[in-house]
């Protein structure tokens, strides 16, 4: 693989740092987009650093789309868990991709922008210029829906790198077809193009699947140009420990990064000119440094966990927290690692009256965006996402059917009131961070999810699902009042893997803002963040499509 060759070449260097116009940290969705776009100008040298390996590592074949759950918990996943939650005391698994393509290479491939109201809330909170209409050209630039029926070129892209489309008619799951009919029977509108972000209701979701294979950011953006872009270097197995800061000016300037390579050898001494002013353990000499050329920039694309982790490990974050764990705070940025948001997931699990066929797609072909308040106006943002999963979705220890014997009407909370944190566990940058999403910390979230369960049950009892419907296994027919449903929601809790908000866009008057409207880290020159962490509030559907758009826009901000 070219990226593995680049890694080997880097390890064979004599230790002298090279210079780049752009150093991109993290080769997930956003990093792959930026590396491709920034390297289009052949006069710019671009370095892309990724802690993981290609996903899955060669020569293993890429799993079929329906096998994506098998990637969770493997080397392709950071394998994080939350701190114990107040929903029952147990930690919650928090998968996130580790390797080229990041979470786009291990996730569920649902490609929805979310309702436009989600992005339109950002300018109202201070992220001027980041509304839906502002992002529309970048949504379009990332995708290719050529040949897909009912896709309006005014709102959908036709020449982007990523091919997306609903499940092909001949491969649609019969249970998904029955669910869509049941949702309409229950009174919900049918959506023609749910992925465009302009409709509510139920419809076939666009999927990042083409010709029966997963489409991830590495395959769409990065690998097609690896062989031809001599100005772009990709190094895998490269764990960035800290940012290099020059504090001789009026404001700190990020001049590069220090990183280790996973070759099994102890870190080398950093050349004298690259030594940090700090002698504390988190600044111990790494094996390699990479420097920006004059006027160059470092861009963090490590996601809502990785980007704040690196900022804090480098002394950029909440002063009190950093000093508590022994890191010198170079700049007090209280918002770093705060404002953490995620879509919490639960659902109604049924035992099927007939065998459930194996999926040829992603197990979740039909989705719906609804408003919990039946009297809400059409201007009100949808706050719940309901979908069909052709397998049981239940936490470990809960009873119920196994694969092939059950299905779930999934409920996801789109606009959580609760906010969590990402914090460092100690001063060692290699120690996994402490992740606390604070699920259900705000009682409004449980109220909304309870309304979602009731809506799911109504769809589940519609005539179109009669031939499939067996017993309601979870929460169970006898669980009816609000308190019982809330107790069930605490037991059967899952993450939708849509982490966001920990380096939020905002204004100078917003103490919680981490980056400005051009994604520049406040108070630091030469440093930006361009991933899901910059979302002030989480979007109202799966986050992946919006991350592509954020990265596409970031490439313009960097080069214009």
Could you report the per-residue pLDDT of 106-131, keeping only the tens digit for each?
999 999 999 999 999 999 989 999 99
Q: Which residues are annotated as a binding site?
A: 240
Which pTM was predicted? 0.92
83 touches 59 (CB < 8 A): no
**Banded pLDDT at 508 (limits 50, 70, 90):** confident
Burial class (CB in 10 A: 0-12, 13-18, 19+), 380: middle
Q: Which of 312, 277, 491 is nearest to 397 (CA)?
A: 491
**Banded pLDDT at 55 (limits 50, 70, 90):** low
Mean pLDDT of 158-183: 96
- pLDDT at residue 61, rounded to an integer: 59
How far apart, in whole angstroms, are the C-alpha atoms of residue 280 and residue 75?
30
CATH number of 2-61+218-338+501-559: 3.50.50.60
Structural domain boundaries of the chain?
Answer: 2-61+218-338+501-559, 68-93+164-215+341-495
- pLDDT at residue 266, rounded to an integer: 35
Q: Which fold would CATH assign to domain 68-93+164-215+341-495?
A: Glucose Oxidase; domain 3 (3.30.560)
**Length of the chain, in residues:** 560
Collapse the DSSP code of 205 into the 3-class scheme (helix H, G, I; strand E, B; otherwise coil) and give the result.
coil
359 touches 70 (CB < 8 A): no
At 326-378, the pLDDT tens digits run 999 999 999 999 999 999 999 999 999 999 999 999 999 999 999 998 777 76
151 touches 335 (CB < 8 A): no
Write the CA distances from 495 to 393, 468, 501, 523, integer angstroms: 11, 27, 15, 33
Question: Residue 56 pLDDT > 90, yes or no?
Answer: no
Task: Please give the structure tokens belonging to residue 339.
Answer: 């404002």
Q: Which residues are annotated as a binding site for FAD?
A: 240
Share of the chain above pLDDT 90, in %: 83
Mean pLDDT of 504-517: 93
- pLDDT at residue 291, rounded to an integer: 97
Question: Residue 239 pLDDT > 50, yes or no?
Answer: yes
Question: Residue 1 pLDDT > 50, yes or no?
Answer: no
């Amino acid at each position: 693989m070219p990226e593995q060759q680049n890694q080997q070449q880097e390890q064979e260097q004599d230790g002298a740092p090279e210079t780049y116009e752009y150093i991109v940290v993290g080769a997930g969705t956003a990093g792959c987009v930026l590396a491709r776009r920034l390297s289009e100008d052949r006069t710019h040298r671009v370095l892309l650093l990724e802690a993981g390996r290609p996903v899955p590592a060669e020569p293993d074949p890429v799993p079929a789309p329906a096998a994506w759950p098998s990637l969770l918990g493997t080397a392709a996943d950071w394998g994080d868990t939350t701190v114990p939650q107040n929903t029952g005391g147990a930690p919650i698994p928090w998968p996130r991709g580790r390797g080229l393509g990041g979470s786009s290479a291990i996730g569920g491939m649902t490609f929805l922008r979310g309702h436009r109201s989600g992005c339109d809330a950002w300018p109202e909170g201070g992220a001027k210029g980041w509304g839906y209409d502002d992002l529309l050209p970048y949504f379009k630039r990332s995708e290719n829906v050529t040949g897909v029926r009912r896709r309006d070129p005014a709102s959908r892209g036709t020449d982007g790198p990523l091919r997306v489309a609903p499940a092909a008619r001949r491969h649609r799951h019969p249970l998904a077809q029955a669910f869509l009919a049941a949702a309409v029977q229950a009174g919900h509108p049918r959506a023609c193009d749910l992925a465009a972000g302009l409709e509510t209701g139920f419809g076939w979701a666009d999927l990042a699947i083409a010709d029966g294979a997963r489409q991830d950011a590495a395959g769409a953006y990065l690998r097609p140009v690896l062989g031809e872009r001599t100005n772009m270097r990709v190094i895998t197995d490269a764990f960035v420990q800290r940012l290099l800061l020059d504090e001789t000016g009026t404001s700190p300037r990020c001049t590069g990064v220090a990183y280790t390579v996973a070759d099994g050898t102890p870190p080398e001494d950093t050349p004298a000119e690259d030594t940090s002013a700090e002698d504390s353990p988190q600044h111990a000499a790494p094996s390699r440094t990479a420097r920006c050329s004059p006027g160059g920039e470092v861009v963090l694309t490590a996601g809502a966990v990785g980007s704040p982790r690196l900022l804090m490990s480098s002394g950029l974050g909440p002063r009190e927290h950093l000093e508590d764990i022994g890191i010198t705070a170079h700049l007090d940025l209280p918002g770093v690692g705060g404002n953490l948001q995620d879509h919490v997931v639960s659902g109604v699990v049924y035992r099927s009256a007939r065998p459930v066929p194996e999926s040829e797609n992603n197990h979740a072909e039909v989705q719906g965006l609804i408003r919990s308040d039946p009297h809400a106006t059409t201007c009100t943002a949808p706050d719940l996402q309901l979908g069909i999963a052709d397998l049981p979705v239940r936490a470990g220890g809960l009873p119920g059917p196994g694969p092939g014997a059950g299905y779930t009407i999934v409920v996801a909370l789109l606009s959580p009131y609760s906010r969590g944190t990402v914090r460092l566990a100690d001063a060692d940058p290699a120690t996994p961070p402490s992740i606390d999403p604070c699920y259900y910390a705000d009682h409004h979230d449980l109220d909304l999810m309870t309304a979602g369960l009731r809506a799911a049950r109504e769809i589940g009892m519609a005539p179109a699902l009669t031939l499939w419907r067996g017993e309601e296994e979870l929460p169970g027919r006898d669980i009816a009042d609000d308190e019982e449903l809330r107790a069930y929601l605490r037991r059967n809790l899952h993450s939708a893997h849509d982490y966001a908000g920990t380096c939020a866009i905002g204004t100078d008057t917003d103490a919680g803002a981490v980056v400005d409207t051009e994604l520049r880290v406040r108070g630091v020159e030469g440093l930006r963040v361009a991933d899901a962490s910059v979302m002030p509030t989480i979007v109202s559907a799966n986050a992946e499509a919006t991350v592509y758009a954020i990265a596409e826009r970031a490439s313009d901000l960097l080069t214009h």
